[in-house]
Amino acid sequence: MEIIVRPLSSKLIEDFLNFFDNVAFTDNPDWSRCYCQFYHFPGSIKEWKDTSKEENRNASEKLILEERMKGFLAYVNNQPIGWCNVNNKEVYTKIPYEDESEEDTKDKIASIVCFVISPTYRKKGVARFLLQKTIINLRENGFKWLESYPRKGELSDAHSYHGPVSLYSSEGFFVVKETEDFLVMRKNLTNPT
């Protein structure tokens, strides 16, 4: 299977929307309204629960056109089969863990907030391939750190959307913080390994 990874751009809006309209959540329709909008949504959790699929779809489309939603689409045979939502950490209105008093790194840092893989392509290395291509791209674009937020515990495919700890560990990420539900892991992108 040959996987091609492309950075999200306005030219790929139709692929992105098709992926979320028809592929991403065929096994989990309750989440099909997200369009990877949650971490960009400025309102409260209660307000988020009241948004419609159409509102989130339109909001994500707008963010893509404004080049504020970034990430990578994975393709097989020119069809999108996976997505990684990654961007400058400062762009997200919320992340799974944030400590206002935290003395964070002063270097340019990116955050991965979501992986969505087509049900028929899960457990076939798509997320790993996306992550490896993401690391290369971010390094080339001057990012010094890449941060991720895997959930702790045994999780269903649906609840593993942050990516598993094992994936990040195998690619050189290390734990910097731990909460009740999440690990905060980082990779130093200035290190070539």
pLDDT higher than 60, residue 104 = no
pLDDT higher than 70, residue 98 = no
**C-beta of residue 113 within 8 angstroms of C-beta of residue 85:** yes
Q: How confident is the model at residue 28, as a pLDDT?
A: 78
Q: How confident is the model at residue 100, as a pLDDT?
A: 47
Q: Is residue 193 part of a domain?
A: no
Q: What backbone phi and psi angles, to 5 degrees, belong to 60?
A: -65, -40
Q: How confident is the model at residue 74, as a pLDDT?
A: 96
Mean pLDDT to the nearest integer, 66-88: 95
> Which range is most confident: 28-37, 146-155, 179-188?
179-188
Q: How confident is the model at residue 33, as a pLDDT?
A: 86
Average pLDDT, the chain: 88
**C-beta of residue 131 within 8 angstroms of C-beta of residue 84:** yes
pTM, whole model, 2 decimals?
A: 0.90
3-class secondary-structure state, position 37: coil
Q: How confident is the model at residue 105, as a pLDDT?
A: 55
Residue that is written with structure tokens 């994975």 in the block: 74
Instruction: Tell me the residue range of the domain where 91 lies.
Output: 4-188
pLDDT-based confidence at residue 193 (cuts at 50, 70, 90):
low
Q: Is residue 111 part of a domain?
A: yes
Q: Is residue 135 part of a domain?
A: yes
- Residue 133: which CATH number? 3.40.630.30
d(CA 82, CA 169): 21
Q: How confident is the model at residue 85, as a pLDDT?
A: 95
Q: How confident is the model at residue 101, as a pLDDT?
A: 42
Q: How confident is the model at residue 95, as a pLDDT?
A: 79
Q: Is residue 50 part of a domain?
A: yes
Tally of domains in the chain? 1
